[in-house]
Amino acid sequence: MRLFIDTANIEEIKKAVELGVISGVTTNPSLIAKEGRVFQEVIQEISRLVDGPISAEVIGLTKEEMVREAKELAKIHPNIVIKIPLTLEGLKAITELTSLGIKTNATVIFSLNQAILAANAGATFVSPFLGRLEDMGENGLEMVAQIVEVFQKYKYTSQIIAASIRNPKHVADVAQLGVDIATVPYKVIEQMSKHYMTDRAVEKFLEDWQELEKKL
């Protein structure tokens, strides 16, 4: 399973690149707004840092607006993937952008049926939002499991990005389910690296080493 970082924060992206564990970036209008910077500039900067798919989302609500924004964003870098909300207008936009050879990421997916529509429209990626569904008391993992099963059964070529990941358990769970990618906030990448037994082992190695040095 590949990991993307889910952020528009340049410092976090730099730190994740240095770790060597991420192969793409996802953003959304809320993440961009948090940075308080010009959208196109942020996306440009990210595409200089990461050599992999970079999702940039449209904010228009009609197919025409989405396609117009998408064409502008796609000019920024060949790695740009246009994130399109899964609405009827969004499906029309995905269909048109696919025919133009522009990559898309169908986003804010909360059901298997939405994912099936996105795959049939030709979306390069589909992004089920696990955490937000769980926030509503629903079973987010079950939705992801259904999507993985059906995509494998029918050999859909859209790649599944597990999104709205909130903790390391989500990452391990979606990996076991067989998603292609998990997009993860930087904080969760850090949390994934931690284990109290690792800390304990490193401390003990150092202690034993220092004891040896005293004897020599």
Task: Report the residue from 8, 9, 16, 26 that binds ligand G3P according to the rule CB under 6 A.
Answer: 26
In angstroms, the Cα distances linking 74 to 59, 77, 157 are 15, 6, 21
> Per CB under 6 A, does 183 bind ligand G3P?
yes
> Per CB under 6 A, does 9 bind ligand G3P?
no
Question: Of the listed 63, 83, 103, 155, which one is catalytic?
Answer: 83
Pick 79 or 211: Cβ nearer ligand G3P: 79
Q: What is the DSSP string of the chain?
A: -EEEEE---HHHHHHHHHHT----EE--HHHHHHHTS-HHHHHHHHHHH--S-EEEE---SSHHHHHHHHHHHHTT-TTEEEEEESSHHHHHHHHHHHHTT--EEEEEE-SHHHHHHHHHHT-SEEEEBHHHHHHTTS-HHHHHHHHHHHHHHTT--SEEEEBS--SHHHHHHHHHHT-SEEEE-HHHHHHHH--HHHHHHHHHHHHHHHHHHHH-
Whether 83 is catalytic? yes
Query: Minimum distance between the CB of residue 183 and ligand G3P, rounded to whole angstroms?
Result: 5
> Per CB under 6 A, does 105 bind ligand G3P?
no
> Per CB under 6 A, does 132 bind ligand G3P?
yes
Q: Pick the stretch among 44-52, 129-137, 139-147, 207-215 that binds ligand G3P (CB under 6 A).
A: 129-137
> Per CB under 6 A, does 123 bind ligand G3P?
no
Query: Minimum distance between the CB of residue 135 and ligand G3P, rounded to whole angstroms?
Result: 8
Residues 140-179 that bind ligand G3P (CB under 6 A): 163-164
Q: Pick the stretch among 46-54, 91-99, 117-125, 127-135 that binds ligand G3P (CB under 6 A).
A: 127-135
The single residue listed with the structure tokens 């936009």 is 93
Active-site positions read 83
Contact residues toward ligand G3P (CB under 6 A) are 6, 26, 28, 129, 131-132, 163-164, 183
